[in-house]
Structure 1
Amino acid sequence: MATAPGHPIDVHTWSTPNGWKIPVMLEECGLPYRVVPVNIGRNEQMAPDFLALSPNNKIPAIVDPDGPGGAPIAVFESGAILQYLGRKTGCLYPADERARVAVDEWLFWQVGGLGPMLGQAHHFRIYAEEKIPYAIARFTDEARRLYGVLDRRLADREHVAGDYSIADVAILTWAKYHEKQGVDLGPLPHVRRWLDGVLARPAVQRGLAAI
């Protein structure tokens, strides 16, 4: 739990790759927060109270009591929450427009491509009751392609978009499950180096342990 002064942000979330992003970000920024568990295994994301915060019935969502103008604000969708917290604090989200564009590119690469494709790989490889070879091959191949994109990006830089940023936070919570996605990091040395580095960060470890 972060210990900075101020009213805690309520984080409605669960222990999933998307759900861990926000505790990690809050730990990195030193903001106080309170985890409000939403057990998706029991369909708690379908409850009317949660629907009022997240119209798509997906975790995570936050309620910041110290929102714009001092009034509370609710934010849903992990990418939007990361951007909001970055703007609020100046943490992990550069003010320079060129640098911010680079961060946004890789943030949207994660929320629009990497996350959904790795989620499908998880589902068809591990959770689907019927093992469908076509689906397993399709999403495993796409997962490997996307990791290849990431490896090439990291070949000449420490982090995905310049300095460590919300883009790294968004990606790391998915990449830590590469084995479940059928991806061997042996041929991807730059991803391996990056992943080991970000997972070693104390704030990341605290955020991952928060749920």
Structure 2
Amino acid sequence: MSNDYIPPKVWKWEQPSGGSFASINRPIAGPTHEKELPVGRHPLQLYSLATPNGVKVSILLEELLEAGHPAEYDAWLIEISKGEQFGSGFVKVNPNSKIPALMDHSLNPPQRVFESASIMLYLAEKFGGAFIPEDPRQRTEMFSWLFWQMGSAPFVGGGFGHFYAYAPMKIEYAINRYAMETKRQLDVLNRHLAENEWMAGIYSLADIAIWAWYGNLVLGRAYNAAEFLDVQSYAHVLAWAKRIDARPAVIRGRKVNRNWGEPWEQLPERHSAADFDALPKAPG
């Protein structure tokens, strides 16, 4: 790659650009191969991977179960590094070929839901407005923060995370540009959480969605960048992240559709609560 690159008048896809996902990136939509999705015995079928967007939904499902809602589900692993999101069955559920995706077989015909915030809102409304504040002001605040996360996190994952951890070369300008924006977003959160225990008055969808990205970031689980971003300086974000991290449903939910890390943290498929009990025990 040259430092004096001049963009052509019309961009053409000629060869992979390098980086961790170069082999599956392409500028067109649609399936690349025929593959039907599995369907388990529960009405709710989740097709996902334990990325920040993926764990939003698995954590919410576990929170719903913890709160006594009949939200039993099957979770199936979609290995995006192998291009499984481009299988014909998955594309039928999400034409954008991104995880997570959900099918609700309690309806006839079954209902597909894609985009993580859309899935969260669908599930919350399905179970009586769970984790959505009843107070109109808190409800509005929750929606503002939920969609703040949806609009802001691409700068963290697609921007900072890509250029800091996944790009084929370290580009100082790109890393500095996205590090600055990531730290600005952390400061937005830190200022809000200095005066609020939760994002919208009570623990809500906004906390789950934001924690999946920024909580994991300050807890040192993303891009090996905790020291680089000086996450310890965001004390209020860190305290909030630790409160959420200790919740039993969060502990379970972040293991679902995970196929890396310690053996006791990996539950590639989830079909019942008993699956967690079958995991190896963590040392100590």
Please give the TM-score of this superposition, normalised by the length of structure 2.
0.68
Q: Deviations over 1:156-194 (max 9, x none)?
A: 111111100000110111121244354222221110110
Q: Which residue of 2 aligns with 1:126?
A: 165
CA distance in 2, matches of 1:66, 1:184: 46
Q: Which residue of 2 aligns with 1:109?
A: 148
Q: Which residue of 1 aligns with 2:253?
A: 207
Matched-pair contact (CA < 8 Å) for 2:198–2:240: yes
Unmatched 5+ stretches in structure 1 = 1-5
CA distance in 1, matches of 2:58, 2:98: 16
Deviation at 1:104, TM superposition (A): 0.6
Task: Supply the AA of the counterpart residue of 1:36.
Answer: W
1:47-62 map, 5 Å:
47-62=87-102
RMSD over aligned Cα, in angstroms?
1.5
Deviation at 1:27, TM superposition (A): 0.2
Question: Identity over aligned residues, as a percent?
Answer: 40
Select the structure with the greater relative contact order (CA < 8 A; seq sep ≥ 6): 1
Q: Which residue of 1 aligns with 2:241?
A: 195
Deviation at 1:129, TM superposition (A): 0.7
Q: Which residue of 2 aligns with 1:73?
A: 111
Deviation at 1:71, TM superposition (A): 5.0
CA distance in 1, matches of 2:213, 2:78: 19
Unmatched 5+ stretches in structure 2 = 1-40, 66-70, 258-284
Task: Give the SS at the match of 1:186.
Answer: helix
1:171-182 map, 5 Å:
171-175=210-214, 176-178=216-218, 179=220, 180=223, 181=225, 182=228
Matched-pair contact (CA < 8 Å) for 2:58–2:256: yes
Please give the TM-score of this superposition, normalised by the length of structure 1.
0.91
Task: Supply the AA of the counterpart residue of 2:143.
Answer: D
CA distance in 2, matches of 1:98, 1:66: 32
Q: Deviations over 1:7-30 (max 9, x none)?
A: 341111012111111110000001
Q: Which residue of 2 aligns with 1:3?
A: none
Task: Give the SS at the match of 1:35.
Answer: strand
Matched-pair contact (CA < 8 Å) for 2:50–2:255: no
